[in-house]
Structure 1
Amino acid sequence: MTDTATKILDVGQELIQTRGYSAMSFQHIAGRVGIKKPSIIHHFPSKATLGVAIIRRYRDTFTSQLDAIKKNPQTSAWEALDFYFSPYLHFAQTPDTVCLCGALAGEIPALPEEMRLEVKQFMEDHQSWLEGILQNGRRNGELTFSETPARLARMLFNTLQGTLLVKRSTDDLSQLNDVIKVIKRMLK
């Protein structure tokens, strides 16, 4: 991938995470990257193509990181969960940024079908990863909970995603910190 394509993806992702897909335009991106609109079209022929590329890159980055943690036998369930919480904490410390796929989920009815599928896959992948960490943590005696790992994974994922949106609305970082504290207490 060229430097220009990477910059386009970076700016496009930032715009989606702070303003939303509907508010992102090739004109905004071109101005921020310092190129003309046709240069974007050369790399990404449509807004949907760009959107899919942004989501796939985002998903691939998280997937490789989460897989590395899951495959490392030295990583405890608590370390895996702390790693998982870290991007949420990072996003919460910025004034307007939320998870890319969380931002897109709010716009699902307006998204092209290929983007909807990518967002859905992101959500399913994260819940599946959390389920695996919860299963292993319970099996190893690190985590204690009464709910099924699948249901608990859904609850954790949905709670974290929703809390970012609430934090964005209230500008209250304690929202996320409190949620993470409660999650940790639930699992002890």
Structure 2
Amino acid sequence: MEPTTSQKILDVAQLLVGAGGYNGFSYADISDAIGIRKASIHHHFPTKSELVAVLVEQYAQRARAGLSSLRESGMSPLEQLQAYLNYWQACIRDSAEPFCICAMLAAEMQMLPEDVASGVRAHFRHLTEWLVSVLEAGVAEGQFRLDRSSEEEAQILMASVHGAMLSARALANPELFPAVVEPQIARLRA
């Protein structure tokens, strides 16, 4: 089934946000990429803020579905965490999705419109909650040993993952991702 014009706009916007953030693209870039007039883009998304807010919500929904799928998979907490890390490692290596768009937007948080910023914050809250639940389940099953609270360990892990994405991207070296995150997992293992 052919994607709708709205979805084509969102797909191109995701690539552009992933490459350059909120301020790194314009409707002219989208127009050039998919061959429609800027007025057509405005018909679907009257403002850039609305476009990126919808993009963030769509991205966050996919992320929530993926994390829920991991939770319901029957995998152990360690396997769930490893699957999450493997997803990003594969994306970075294959350039499929080399960077979390919410992380990219978070770097511009002070300049984002509130509707976009609130969506980014909601994504990070959900990711934190998922990580906390995985870590706590891992502690209960004897797979993890935490040196700090589960919330603090989740924040450390999340920062490590996003920092590893940044390092891998900045230095064009996908192998930096596992080099940064694997010691974090080793540290957590009981």
Q: Name the structure 2 match of 1:105.
A: 106
Q: Name the structure 2 match of 1:180.
A: 181
Root mean square deviation, CA, Å: 1.7
Q: Name the structure 2 match of 1:137.
A: 138
SS in structure 1 of the partner of residue 165 of structure 2: helix
**Separation in structure 1 between the aligned mates of residue 152 and residue 20 of structure 2, nearest angstrom:** 31
Give a deviation string over 1:149-181, Cα, whole Å, max 9, x none.
111000000111112112221122232111222
SS in structure 2 of the partner of residue 141 of structure 1: coil
**Separation in structure 2 between the aligned mates of residue 60 and residue 24 of structure 1, nearest angstrom:** 23
Alpha-carbon contact 2:8-2:34 (below 8 Å) kept: yes
Which deviates further from its counterpart, 60-69 or 82-91?
82-91
Q: Structure 1 regions of 5+ residues with no counterpart?
A: none
Q: Name the structure 2 match of 1:32.
A: 33
Which deviates further from its counterpart, 162-171 or 25-34?
162-171
Give a deviation string over 1:54-92, Cα, whole Å, max 9, x none.
0000000010111122234x2211221122113421342
Alpha-carbon contact 2:160-2:181 (below 8 Å) kept: no
**Separation in structure 1 between the aligned mates of residue 40 and residue 126 of structure 2, nearest angstrom:** 33
Q: Note the 1:24-103 alignment, pairs <5 A.
A: 24-72=25-73, 74-93=74-93, 94=95, 97-103=98-104
Runs of 4+ that moved beyond 6 A:
none
Q: After TM superposition, give the deviation of residue 96 of structure 1 in Å.
A: 9.0
**Separation in structure 2 between the aligned mates of residue 96 and residue 8 of structure 1, nearest angstrom:** 17
Alpha-carbon contact 1:7-1:33 (below 8 Å) kept: yes
**Separation in structure 1 between the aligned mates of residue 85 and residue 182 of structure 2, nearest angstrom:** 11
The answer on 1:121 being equivalent to 2:115 is: no
Change (3 A) 1:178 1:19: same
Alpha-carbon contact 2:53-2:115 (below 8 Å) kept: yes
**Separation in structure 2 between the aligned mates of residue 149 and residue 109 of structure 1, nearest angstrom:** 28
Q: Structure 2 regions of 5+ residues with no counterpart?
A: none
Q: Which amino acid aligns with 1:89?
A: Q
SS in structure 2 of the partner of residue 22 of structure 1: helix
Q: Which amino acid aligns with 2:145?
A: T
